[in-house]
Structure 1
Amino acid sequence: DANIALLDGTRGGLTRVDIDDSKLLDECLGRFGHTPVITKTPSGGFHLFYRSNGEKRMLHVEGKKIDILGSGGYGLVPGSMTDAGTYQFIEGSLIDLGGNLPYMKAVPQPRPGVPGQMRAGDGRNTSLFDALRSEARQCKDEAELVALANTLNNNFAEPLPASEVRRIAGSVWHYVQEDLLLVKGCEASTLISKPMYDLLNDKELKLFLGLTFAHAAKGNAPFVLAQQAAKTFGM
């Protein structure tokens, strides 16, 4: 069985709000706007899906358990299963992910800064994630990436806690292992046959291309749709 992952950011056409504290769901919907696609994660949190408008990746917005997952990552959707459990649709479906999603409202903006001046609230998490993403393929293993993360973290005026540094490095290394680490200049492209184009409607075509792009980083290897997704497309 294969999981289904979609790219965050302009490549996948999606911006995802990752809510790790379920009590923050209503606050996020009120702040960022309603979306027709809401999923529940195996950990009990929620993902809100919006159309990408070039949002950047921001972790722990305002110190809360809220991540804005724009460029630079990917996310699992229902039809996927991890050791912790399954992803479930609360509202919407896979088809809606390829539809005309709304843009986010009131997108938070990180305060500008350079590492030597950055403190809590200045976007240290995002800054460290982006720096590691650029250097990760030069590291031979996760331990080397964590060591680099600790070095970069010490450049902040107010360093992040060691546990947070390890978490960020682990997240980046996971992308490396899954061969899904995308950096500037590695945009995915694909070819689609005329019979396949004729077979799909607009929403299905957009979702099909999104799935194809998500797997392009794996050397264009064939991928498998979960049974539920296949039924959705009548396959």
Structure 2
Amino acid sequence: MLTGITALGIFAEHQPIYASHNIPTFPMNGKRPAVKGFTKAGSDLSHQWSLDFPEAEALAFMSGARTKIMPIDIDSPDEDLRRDTEKRYGPTPIMVRTPSGGTHLWYLHNGESRQIRPDPSVPVDILGTGGLVIAPPSMGTKGRYQFIRGGLADLHKLRPAANLDQQARQLIQQGGRNKALLDYLRNQARHADDLETLIDVAQTFADQHLDRTSGHAFTDAEIRNVAKSVHDWTQRKIGEGQYFVGTGRYFMEGHDKLNQVMALGPYACALFLRLKVRAGGLKSFQIANDMRHDMPDGVWPLRKMQDARKALTDAGIIKEKHRASSFYGTTVYEWA
């Protein structure tokens, strides 16, 4: 029997494969990067991490100009929504299934910025510049990320997504640059473990979106001050019991309806809390039947899902905004 040989984890095994396609990757710890400086990782640092983290079971990369990949993230198992999204943005040779049943459609990066829920009623994100992308065959807590159409060998076939505003290196005007950086960091703070990581994220954003030759670029001190302001603000909100959830733009400020919901039974209560995390800050949202596959206590029977949704509607917690259509796929709801 051979001794002294340890099986490589997914990151160490697949890092050189992605590197051969000029995609520097980094190890993940769950849905968080296991290292700092990942936003600027090159091939040498990526290789070193593969030696430092031989047992990591997940890897990720940054979308944007370096990797030339721009995924569109569909955070729903709804196949009608997937088909409509691909119809809207154009066909792609590479498709990834996420452990929760969602889909990543890979396109050629064409200068797009990162956009979280550009249409608030549809669970679709544009992972443009600065988007963190967990890569197949990473193992998540609920299962594996896997290519279900194409793979790395098809990267040369990628084309830009259609019907997207082109924002390649868009210059932020002097009067709005502080607010732009502040808003961006507030949306990124949930991914940063500490202040130094958030500063690194801020510097990357400044490099990619500010013209440093214009005389209006941020200094390192200004970047640090803005990042510290956002970090302190975030920690204060958490300390006040306002939990940082969902898209990063919403804080759950108390549960004024929780007692009412608890009286509706455990399934209605669980669905309510799940909706608060996933859609608490949205004006409208979907509650597809397939959401029953993404519950913390396992897959729900279809009837339990339907009954829980009806209970919340009948109690006036949520209400229908409009019925199912060819684009939305399912009925769209809003908070009552």
Instruction: Return the TM-score normalized by structure 1.
Output: 0.52
Is 1:82 matched with 2:140? yes
Letter matched to residue 112 of structure 2 = E
| Counterpart-to-counterpart distance in 1, 2:184 and 2:231 | 20
| Counterpart-to-counterpart distance in 2, 1:147 and 1:32 | 38
Which one of 108, 123, 132 corresponds to residue 51 of structure 1?
A: 108
| Counterpart-to-counterpart distance in 1, 2:129 and 2:144 | 24
Please state whether the residue corresponding to 1:11 is helix, strand or coil: coil
| Counterpart-to-counterpart distance in 1, 2:68 and 2:237 | 29
Offset at residue 128 of structure 1 (A)? 3.7
| Counterpart-to-counterpart distance in 2, 1:45 and 1:77 | 14
| Counterpart-to-counterpart distance in 2, 1:27 and 1:126 | 28
Letter matched to residue 160 of structure 2 = Y
Please state whether the residue corresponding to 2:83 is helix, strand or coil: helix
Offset at residue 114 of structure 1 (A)? 5.6
| Counterpart-to-counterpart distance in 1, 2:105 and 2:115 | 15
Please state whether the residue corresponding to 2:105 is helix, strand or coil: strand
Contact residue 118 and residue 124 of structure 2 kept, 8 A: yes
Please state whether the residue corresponding to 1:12 is helix, strand or coil: coil
Is 1:32 matched with 2:79? no
Please state whether the residue corresponding to 1:60 is helix, strand or coil: coil
Is 1:7 matched with 2:62? yes
Is 1:96 matched with 2:154? yes
Name the structure 2 match of 1:188.
none
Runs (5+) with no aligned partner, structure 2: 1-8, 12-57, 190-197, 203-222, 239-247, 253-276, 279-336
Which one of 234, 240, 243 corresponds to residue 146 of structure 1?
A: 234
Root-mean-square deviation (CA), in Å?
4.1
**1:214-229 pair list within 5 angstroms:** none
**1:65-80 pair list within 5 angstroms:** 65-80=123-138
**1:59-208 pair list within 5 angstroms:** 59-63=116-120, 64-97=122-155, 99-108=156-165, 128-129=186-187, 133-134=201-202, 139=228, 144=232, 146-147=234-235, 160-163=249-252
Offset at residue 126 of structure 1 (A)? 5.2
Alignment CA distance shift 1:59-1:92 (3 Å)? same
| Counterpart-to-counterpart distance in 2, 1:136 and 1:89 | 39
Contact residue 114 and residue 127 of structure 2 kept, 8 A: yes
Letter matched to residue 101 of structure 2 = G
| Counterpart-to-counterpart distance in 2, 1:20 and 1:101 | 21
Return the index of the structure with the highest Cα Rg: 2
| Counterpart-to-counterpart distance in 2, 1:44 and 1:83 | 13
| Counterpart-to-counterpart distance in 2, 1:56 and 1:128 | 16
Alignment CA distance shift 1:160-1:75 (3 Å)? closer
Offset at residue 68 of structure 1 (A)? 0.3
Offset at residue 84 of structure 1 (A)? 1.8
Please state whether the residue corresponding to 2:157 is helix, strand or coil: coil
| Counterpart-to-counterpart distance in 2, 1:27 and 1:127 | 31
Offset at residue 76 of structure 1 (A)? 1.6
Offset at residue 26 of structure 1 (A)? 1.1
Contact residue 77 and residue 100 of structure 2 kept, 8 A: no
| Counterpart-to-counterpart distance in 2, 1:90 and 1:16 | 14
* More contact order relative to length (CA 8 Å, sep ≥ 6): 1
Letter matched to residue 146 of structure 1 = T
Please state whether the residue corresponding to 1:28 is helix, strand or coil: helix
Contact residue 18 and residue 68 of structure 1 kept, 8 A: yes
**Alignment length (residue pairs):** 149
Alignment CA distance shift 1:143-1:149 (3 Å)? same
CA offsets per residue over residues 61-81 of structure 1, 9 Å max, x none?
Answer: 210211100111321222211
Alignment CA distance shift 1:57-1:95 (3 Å)? same
| Counterpart-to-counterpart distance in 2, 1:57 and 1:146 | 21
Please state whether the residue corresponding to 2:96 is helix, strand or coil: strand
Instruction: Return the TM-score normalized by structure 2.
Output: 0.37
